[in-house]
Amino acid sequence: MTDNSESKVLSGVRVLEVAAWTFVPAAGAVLAEWGAEVIKVEPREGGDPQRGLVTSGIVSGADQVNYMIEVPNRGKKSIGIDLRTPGGREVLLELAKTADVFLTSYLPSRRKRLGFDVDDIRAVNPNIIYVRGSGHGPKGPDADRPGYDGVSYWARGGIGAMLTAATEGVKEIVRQRPAFGDLLGGMTIAGGIAAALYKRATTGEGSVVDVSLVGLAAWNLSPDIATSRMHDAAPPVTYTHADSPNPLVNNYLTSDGRYVTLMMLQLDKFFAEAMTAIGLPELVTDQRFAEQLPRYENRVELVRLIDEAFAKRTLAEWREALAPLSGAWGVVQTPAEVCDDPTTVANGYVAKTTTMNGVPFKLAVNPVQFDEQHVVPPGAPEHGQHTEEILMDAGLEWDRIQQLKDDGAVL
């Protein structure tokens, strides 16, 4: 976190996170970037299971950076606790006494079995904000079923189906990128927590906050959800690149194999300007395209002509040609290009940071900024790195800490 105190809007807020993988821990990472103290509770043996993805080969560990631990866990403190032991449960409840937020991804049956469900935590801290991130929500037949973003968000939530339907020539469902729904969900959870903190500050009452990956998917597909029952059971009309109803909302391929996206929703407003910039000024007065109705009826031909124009120039040439255009357009970039994009650099959207071992790498920070302050997060903690520090801050004597270690309750 940057040292500028004005950006630490959650300074003084303590979050106790009992969660694994990316979805819920990503919320903790956002809260840490907003200035909260986030204590990550990891299993005493092995820690967050995502730490093991490097050794299993799922995460490459390139340049000695386990990015799937760094992304959702930057800026936190880590304590290793065996929650199956009486001592471990005692430690967890002791830490909960001074927390403002209890954040978990554990399923209901496991929370009950390990003794940290809502009633357990509120028995020691009545006004705490209790936050649950889940695959399928707190109610219904699947409330206690495990879920990942690939299952609950991408598949069950309809995201994969809709993106596949919108992609031409794809014969199997489009695969999501790593933690795609998880990171959107973490940001959503963080927003819910901020609202709950405001409620508690104004009323003194804590809330139980729930965010599910299925619910997130439905929200992301709001237009599709809204129209899905408006067609008398007939499937909604879909369009391809070739017959786009608005040729100025489309992707066009350049001569060097790059795509430019045009996004000018007001076709009439931008048509003449866009055709001139693209190098087709004669189409402005062409009777096939001069008016709205014939333009729609002849849209396949219009798209074909724009395709031909784009195929004659390189991306660099198109950047120059489209620069004066007042309508919205952009280049389809790779993640590496995003890192070096002037907008990304100027606004600090991708930070240069290091792991706890000092290995440099780049990390996208959460997109919310306060007072134009850029976030530079520290790396994710090592497994159990702060166990002693956290327990001493909680008021435990060293002899008691040593006893808990000897008993296998903490790391």
Q: Tell me: do 254 and 167 sit in the same domain.
A: no
Report pLDDT for 1.
Answer: 41
Q: Is 4 helix (H, G, I), strand (E, B) or coil?
A: coil
Q: Number of helices (H) and strands (E), helices first, in the chain?
A: 18, 11
pLDDT, tens digit, for every residue of 324-369? Answer: 999 999 999 999 999 999 999 999 999 999 999 899 999 999 999 9
Report pLDDT for 4.
Answer: 46
Domain that residue 298 falls in: 249-336
CB-based burial, 327-352: b 16+ in 10 Å, e otherwise = bebebeeeeeeeeeeeeeeeebbbbe
Q: How many independent structural domains does the chain possess?
A: 2
Decide which of 301, 336, 371 is a domain's last residue.
336
Torsion of CA 320, 325, 329, 334, to 10 degrees: 20
Radius of gyration of the chain measured on its C-alpha atoms: 26
Q: Tell me: do 200 and 295 sit in the same domain.
A: no
Report pLDDT for 5.
Answer: 46
Tell me whether strands 329-331 and 259-263 are parallel, antiparallel or unpaired: antiparallel
Q: What parts of the chain have a pLDDT lower than 50?
A: 1-6
> Which residues have C-beta within 8 Å of that of residue 57, sequence separation ≥ 6?
none
Q: Tell me: do 26 and 84 sit in the same domain.
A: yes
Q: Tell me: do 324 and 356 sit in the same domain.
A: no
pTM of the predicted model as reported, rounded to 2 decimal places: 0.93
Burial class (CB in 10 A: 0-12, 13-18, 19+), 247: buried
Residue 46 lies inside a defined structural domain of this protein: yes
Q: Tell me: do 187 and 297 sit in the same domain.
A: no
Report pLDDT for 55.
Answer: 56
Residue 80 lies inside a defined structural domain of this protein: yes
- Under 8 Å between Cβ of 124 and 96: yes
Distance CA 295, CA 300 (A): 9
Report pLDDT for 62.
Answer: 56
Tokens of 372: 């134009």
